[in-house]
Amino acid sequence: MYQPVYQPVRKPMVEYARTFVSDIALVLGIVLSLFLVWLGAVIWGWSDDPDVEDVGMFIRSLGMLILTAVMFVGALIRTDWDKWMRFGVLLSATLLMICIGYWTGFWSLLGGFDFNF
């Protein structure tokens, strides 16, 4: 008599991606991004040279990009979180992009707020 062929248990693709989005990886990504946002703001704020201000703005926008990416990926991949927590993280990342954005000069282009003090 033939024995049945062993079929390994199949996991959804989210289970494989969840190992890359652990709590420690999320915390490290958020801490790194907040440090870059702070560093870019300090460089941009203390500089008088327009080229150095552009470098500070680049570092700040890179930190904001990493922060929102970590928040979006964490909220979409981590299905073990409560649905309201995931919604809050998605809403926070969206509001960060809308209100702060990647470049502070965006609002002055629209004729709105001017953040250059």
Note the pLDDT tens digit of each residue in 84-112. 999 999 999 998 888 776 665 554 445 55
Kindly state the average pLDDT of the residues 46-69.
Answer: 88
Please give the model's pTM, rounded to 2 decimal places: 0.73
State phi, psi for 5 to the nearest 5 degrees.
Answer: -75, 135
